Chains A and B, each alone.
Chain A
Amino acid sequence: MTTLNIDHVSRWFGNVVAVNDITMTIGPGVTGLLGPNGAGKSTLINMMGGFLAPSTGSVTLDGTPVWRNEQIYKHIGIVPEREAMYDFLTGREFVVANAELHGLGAKAAQRALATVEMEYAQDRKISTYSKGMRQRVKMASALVHEPSLLLLDEPFNGMDPRQRMQLMDLLRRMGDEGRTVLFSSHILEEVEQLAAHIEVIVAGRHAASGDFRRIRRLMTDRPHRYLVRSSDDRTLAAALIADPSTAGIEVDLAEGALRIQAVDFGRFTALLPRVARDHGIRLLTVSPSDESLESVFSYLVAA
């Protein structure tokens, strides 16, 4: 059982605080590290992997510090976000080299290549690989020594849906085997499909932690804003405001549209088309105006 402890960790670059006083414990199973781009996920993962010293605080693996400690890599497998690999090698040569650096042989490399189902292309140069193939070979290189902790930085970036499913299955399996698997992502659905436990980071701060369903509920229950244009805005507004799912409506004269704030997402989305039909109103535009992840996350931080 491997536990990664992040204890009051901050990291700043000059005047910019990338990670701000984060404390979390990552235990066995799959954990998703969720946050919008630029939230500090990579910085945090780099500190977890011993590639960056925390400015304050400490990162320990079962009590042993990870910074400036090469021996820790006997237990850690890392899948970096950056694309660069040794492109002039074949997939097999690359994974064999990684195995050798762990003091292992070609057998371990072959097993890892089989695990990620890359045997069919193992003798091709890495420079000819697609993004998904690269990702899987990176994965094989991180698995050669069967680490108890696996750190993956945005592993699904650029993968097609089938490759994504395969990698998710693999990570799920790793988690079920009792390994500690942590992956970062800025895509809610990825995390939802894979991790029961999530850690949310926004603007360098630890915004939420725990069971995915609870956090998801927080996210869907937040007030949603819509911009609606119709053939009769005022009639529509009057009908909508009568329902408790709508908290407020503004008639935006300049835009020629309604700005609606809904508090019950499910009920409102069913209500709007029904009200329009009942009143003979044509809906011209219905667009959510704050669906960006950033707004979802900032709501979470405030919650």
Chain B
Amino acid sequence: MYDPTVARLTYRALLGRRRALILSALPALLIVLAVAVRALSGADDQVAADLLGGFALATMVPIIGVIAGTGAIGPEIDDGSVVYLLAKPVKRPTIICTKLIVAIAVTMAFSAIPTLLAGLILNGNGQQIAVAYTVAALVASIAYAAMFLLLGTITRHAVVFGLVYALVWEALFGSLVEGARTLSVQQWALAVAQKVTDGDLVTSDVGLPTAVILLTVVTAGATWFAGQKLRTLKLAGEE
């Protein structure tokens, strides 16, 4: 279910100069914020949790998931170069799984590592806040990458839809409508993170079993569906 050549091509497309810059922008901002907050207000567990929860997990991780997930396949489908992958005796689900693994790895690298660093800078992992949010970022990376990879196979406007989901659904509705929180990757990831923390600074509205089930279903379902989409992907001519 993994093809090293597809992986190499995907990595190189994702980590090209421009995209790598976009991917690095939010993590850099997070680190700058962490340094500034620590310098101005000293180590404060609540502030650390607020910044990591409110910015890192709620905004940075989904946006990086959108860029990596849709970027792993969307541009290739858009410009038609995916034909060079499809015109090969390689199973389409293998192509999708490989691209998913790459998207997950890139999302994790650009979201979990900066989250851990920022947490360490903010309060030196007091109450295990840094580790908890890093775990949440790792877990969320998997689900986001799968969802946005699927989006990349379905629509040309994957980035727009992805951002709408990440910013409007997760951030806006999630904070206003209670039911929306049950259907939020962020809350599922927090449920896992909650298990890791010993304090009560990391909490989720969703129970751990529900979160794990939903994470698994969404990730597996999105991956399977993306594989199906790719099997019947129509590369219409230019006529």
When the two chains form their complex, are residues B16 and A101 in contact, meaning their CB atoms are under 8 A apart?
no
Find the A residue at minimum CB distance from B80. A82
For residue A42, which residues in chain B have a CB less than 8 angstroms away from its CB?
237-239
**Least Cβ distance of A145 to chain B in Å?**
9
Residue of B nearest to A138 (CB): B84
Contact B232 A68 (CB under 8 A): yes
Residues of B within 8 A of A88 (CB): 12-13, 16
Task: Indicate if the CB atoms of B238 and A82 lie closer than 8 Å.
Answer: yes
B235 close to A52 (CB less than 8 A): yes
Which of B6, B8, B89, B236 is A52 in contact with, Cβ under 8 Å? B236
Report the nearest A residue to B90, measured CB to CB. Answer: A101
Q: Which residues of B contact A45 (CB under 8 A)?
A: 237
A43–B236 touching, CB < 8 Å: yes
- When distances are taken between beta carbons in the complex, the residues of chain A under 8 Å from B8 are 97
Q: Which of A18, A37, A70 has its CB near the most chain B CB atoms (within 10 A)?
A: A70
Query: Given A46-B236, A52-B236, A85-B84, 12 more contacts at CB 8 Å?
Result: A43-B236, A52-B237, A70-B90, A70-B92, A84-B81, A86-B9, A97-B84, A98-B88, A101-B3, A101-B84, A101-B88, A103-B89
Partner of A82, one of B3, B79, B88: B79
Against A, the Cβ 8 Å flags (1 = close, 0 = not) of B56-100 are: 000000000000000000000001110111111111100000000
Chain A min CB distance to B75 (Å): 9
Residue pair A73, B237 in contact (C-beta under 8 Å): no
User: Which 7 A-B pairs have CB atoms at the shortest separation, nearest pair first?
Assistant: A42-B237, A84-B79, A82-B80, A101-B88, A100-B5, A51-B235, A84-B81
- Residues of chain B within 8 A (CB-CB) of A101 are 3, 5-6, 84-85, 88, 90
In the bound complex, residues from chain B placing their C-beta under 8 Å from that of A77 are 87
Interface size on B, residues (CB 8 A): 31
What residues of chain A have their CB less than 8 Å away from a CB belonging to chain B?
13, 18, 37-43, 45-46, 49-53, 68, 70-74, 76-78, 80-82, 84-86, 88-89, 97-98, 100-103, 141, 153
Residues of A near B9 (CB, < 8 A) are 86, 89, 97
Q: Which of A18, A52, A78, A89 is close to B87, meaning CB atoms less than 8 Å apart?
A: A78
Say yes or no: B88 contacts A70, CB within 8 Å. Answer: yes
Contact B88 A52 (CB under 8 A): no
- In the complex formed, the residue of A with least CB distance to B82 is A84
Can you list 30 A-B pairs, Cβ within 8 angstroms, ordered by A? A39-B239, A40-B239, A46-B235, A49-B87, A51-B83, A51-B86, A51-B87, A51-B235, A52-B237, A68-B232, A70-B89, A72-B89, A73-B88, A76-B87, A80-B80, A80-B235, A81-B237, A82-B81, A82-B238, A85-B81, A86-B9, A86-B84, A88-B13, A97-B5, A97-B9, A97-B84, A101-B3, A101-B6, A101-B90, A141-B84
Which residues from chain B contact A13 at a C-beta distance below 8 Å? 236
- Residues of A within 8 Å of B4, CB to CB, are 100
Shortest distance between the CB of A64 and any CB in chain B (Å): 13
In the complex, the chain B residue whose C-beta lies closest to that of A88 is: B16
Complex Cα–Cα for A102 and B89 (A) = 6
Given A42-B239, A43-B239, A82-B83; A53-B234 close (CB under 8 Å): yes
**B195 CB within 8 Å of chain A:** no
With a CB–CB cut-off of 8 A, which chain B residues contact A82? 79-81, 83, 238
Does any Cβ of A come within 8 Å of B156's Cβ?
no
Does B231 have its Cβ within 8 Å of any Cβ on chain A? Answer: yes
**Which chain B residue shows the least CB distance to A81?**
B238
- Expressed in whole angstroms, the minimum distance between the Cβ of A105 and any Cβ of chain B is 11
Q: Which residue of A lies closest to B81 (CB)?
A: A84
Q: Which residues of A contact B81 (CB under 8 A)?
A: 82, 84-86
Residues of A within 8 A of B92 (CB): 70
CB nearest neighbor in A for B75: A84
Interfacial chain A residues near B84, Cβ < 8 Å: 85-86, 97-98, 101, 141
